[in-house]
Chains A and B, each alone.
Chain A
Amino acid sequence: MSEAPIVEIRDLHKSYGATPVLRGCTMNVNRGEVVVVCGPSGSGKSTLIKCVNGLERYQSGSIKVEGIEVGAKDTDLPKLRSRIGMVFQHFELYPHMSVLKNLELAQVHVLKRSRAEAAERGRQLLKRVGLEAKADAMPVDLSGGQQQRVAIARALALDPQAILFDEPTSALDPEMIHEVLQVMTELATEGMTMMVVTHEMGFARRVANRVVFMDAGEIVENAGSEEFFSRPRTPRATEFLSKILSH
């Protein structure tokens, strides 16, 4: 690809006290690409994705988002974050606001759109995730799957260049996982750049361009999705795949 990657991670190290969490991670996410990050729990994948938009700090190495160093002192983090959406495991909708207000807030206060503009864009996106009827509902009155779809709409409301997904289906009941994955699949088809931490290997196989496999704070494999699933190169990835696919 000729274009510079949207996310460029180089030799990233992070530790909590004496415990290393990330030990020299290097990877890219290119424009239009869907990259799934997987690995056993505690492997550092959630920490890695939270470093990308500066929710977690790192000790050494570098992360560039659209060419801007995330960890640099003079980086305008709010501006950088407004260009990179994020979807969380536990949805994190604002419980004291209606669904539509959840979608409007950052549009109004970060992008400085008018209320009317923000509401219009909000309704558009609710329609897109199939929840236009829920605009005035409170988050608590939605199912988990619906909440996560609203959270995706909230991320999209800022017209981001890429979206980070941190285990978006891990807190969902099995029957709701599908509706969320479907929205994500549609996004991918439309060309959205996505970095997805997930255990959904079906999604990874069908939708991802590349799979990054992490273990103990290291990136062990970084391969095309087809290649990763049919010919994992390392014993650790083979073992992980056999465990997760056999159940």
Chain B
Amino acid sequence: MNYRFDWTPIWEQRDLILSGLWMTIAVSLVSLAISIVIGFVVGTGGASGSRSARLGAALFVDTMRNIPLLIHMYIWYMALAFLKLPAFACAVLGLSLYSGAYVAEVVRSGIGAVRRGQMQAALATGLTRIQAFRFIIYPQALRIIAPSLASLFSQLIKDSSLASVIAVAELTYEAGAIEGQTFRTFEVYITISVLYLILVTVASQLVMLVPGARNDASSARFADA
């Protein structure tokens, strides 16, 4: 093979790549925030003692998780066409529902891993159920699930590339555009691969900043405390 790498066209299109990068970050961050909210609400419902809350949570998780993300993108884009929502909002909606379902399952298992007596002890001191979750249950669950959350969030960043199919001008979309103009297929996709790699690495390191999440020894001690 005598393919000759030529990076000049990529450098010339750096503005497009940068704007794509920002869009990827924007889509990912907004979807991340919404999927955390969805995940905690649905995951808490799934861990609750109420049968109807558990059923509702399971229904949501199974529906959202079992539809391929690509189909999510198409569905929300088409379905919301009459609302004239920008493609950005449709992509965020699809990604948030899809990832939110996964976050919900992780949150549910995290809550389940906190000793049952912790909730009783918190309630017994007069805390409300919401206060008990906020001060006692979530902080403990978060430490347990931080590694799983980190991998979910990396997944979300990579999944955001599917927003390109509904013309959200993020990294993958811009890469396609640059490739169409310059035919430097390898160069452009190698470039964005490196950018994804950096984003994902930074994101998963950030999640591990949750107090206690990194230190395996201390979380093990903590688990049988």
Known: A96-B139, A96-B222, A105-B135. A82 touches B118 (CB 8 A): no
A70 CB → nearest B CB, Å: 13
When C-beta atoms are compared, the residue in chain B nearest to A78 turns out to be B126
* B124, B128, B222 pick with most chain A CB within 10 angstroms: B124
CB within 8 Å for A95 and B225 given contacts A55-B120, A105-B135, A109-B135: yes
For B127, give its contact among A55, A92, A110, A140 (CB under 8 Å). Answer: A110
CB pair B127–A78 under 8 Å, yes or no, is yes
Most-contacted residue by chain B among A50, A85, A106 (CB, 10 A):
A106
Q: Which residues does chain A contribute within 8 Å of B136, judged by CB atoms?
A: 94
Return A85 CB to nearest CB of chain B, in Å: 8
How far does the Cβ of A118 sit from chain B's closest Cβ, in whole Å? 12
Kindly state the separation between the CA atoms of A83 and B139 in the bound complex, as whole angstroms.
Answer: 26
Within 8 Å CB of A80, what residues of B?
Answer: 126
- The reply on A243 being an interface residue by CB < 8 A is no
The number of A-B residue pairs with CB atoms under 8 Å apart is: 73
How far, in whole Å, are A121 and B177 apart by their CA atoms in the complex? 66
Bound-complex Cα distance A134 to B120 (A) = 24
The residue on B at minimum CB distance from A50 is: B120
Give the CA-CA distance A106 to B123 in the complex, in Å.
10
CB–CB B126/A154 < 8 A = no
A55→B123 contact, CB < 8 A: yes
Residues in chain A near residue B139, CB distance under 8 A: 96
A155 to B221, CA, bound (A): 25
Q: Return the CB mask of B97-127 against A: 1 if under 8 Å, else 0.
A: 0000000000000000001011011111111
Q: How far is the CB of B223 from chain A (nearest CB, A)?
A: 9
A86 within 8 A of B: yes
| CB contact under 8 A between A110 and B125, given known A88-B117, A92-B118 | yes
Chain B residues with a Cβ closer than 8 Å to the other chain, count? 23
Q: How far is the CB of A215 from chain B (nearest CB, A)?
A: 25
Interface size on A, residues (CB 8 A): 29
Q: Is B140 an interface residue (CB 8 A)?
A: yes
Residue B185 at the chain A interface, CB threshold 8 Å: no
Best-buried of B121, B136, B143 by chain A (most CB within 10 Å): B121
Minimum CB distance partner of B128 in chain A: A78
CA distance A206 to B120 in the complex (A): 30
A79 within 8 A of B: yes
Chain A CB within 8 A of B9 CB:
no
> Nearest Cβ in chain B — how far from A209, in angstroms?
24
B221 engages A53 (CB within 8 Å): no
Answer yes or no: B131 CB below 8 A from chain A CBs.
Answer: yes
Q: In the complex, what residues of A have CB within 8 A of residue B212's CB? A: 96
The residue that A90 contacts in the complex, of B117, B125, B135, B211, with Cβ under 8 A, is B117
Q: List 3 tightest A-B contacts by C-beta distance, closest first.
A: A82-B126, A92-B121, A106-B125
**Knowing that A78-B126, A94-B135, A95-B222 are A-B contacts, what are 4 other residue pairs whose CB atoms are under 8 Å apart, sorted by A's residue number?**
A55-B123, A86-B121, A96-B222, A140-B221
7 A-B contacts (beta carbon < 8 Å): A53-B124, A85-B124, A86-B121, A92-B115, A96-B140, A96-B211, A140-B221
